Amino acid sequence: MFKYIEDFEEGAVSNSPAVTVTETHVVTYTWVSGDTNPMHTDEEIATRSPIGRRIAHGTLGMSIATGLSARMGQLDGTAIAALGVDEWKFLLPIFIGDTVRLRTTIVSARPTSKPDRGVLVRRMELLNQRDEVVQTGLMTTMVRTRANPVPRDQK
């Protein structure tokens, strides 16, 4: 269920469903991004690296985080625009076969000077199947207020 800016409470924590990162994710992301770094595409080279095996692209993890956020449904129809990503850190590698989920914590939710919108800041934490935080950062989104309701055909 979607939320307006007024519905978000500072400190509230939510969790997404999980997704397993597959070979298809990595190959498709390589094609879309053009990033053919051997750490993502060449098992032999990756095996000889300090990490010891192929890893998913860091920005693929970030993209998965945004997709998991969308699956949570909180901003379906109420998000107006992404405003920024700050302090994003790649803490641990994501391996093909890892299952990740997103934990969000509301940092702030405030109306703006325009009555139809507000600004939402969330701490995003992408966790693997061992509950290790593999990526984290802040995402800022412009969100509708109740003064700017979701059109009836979008509910």
Place of tokens 């914590």: 105
What is the pLDDT, as a whole number, of residue 154?
Answer: 64
Domain that holds residue 32: 5-147
Number of domains in the chain: 1
| Residue at 21 is within a domain | yes
| Residue at 42 is within a domain | yes
Residue 87, burial from CB neighbour count under 10 angstroms (0-12, 13-18, 19+): exposed
What is the pLDDT, as a whole number, of residue 153?
Answer: 65
Q: Is the pTM of this model over 0.85?
A: yes
| Residue at 152 is within a domain | no
Residues in the chain with pLDDT values less than 70:
153-155
| Residue at 155 is within a domain | no
β strands within the chain, DSSP E: 13-20, 79-90, 99-111, 117-127, 133-144
| Residue at 108 is within a domain | yes
| Residue at 153 is within a domain | no
What is the pLDDT, as a whole number, of residue 1?
Answer: 81
| Residue at 154 is within a domain | no
Place of tokens 């139809």: 116
Residue 74's domain is classified under what CATH number? 3.10.129.10
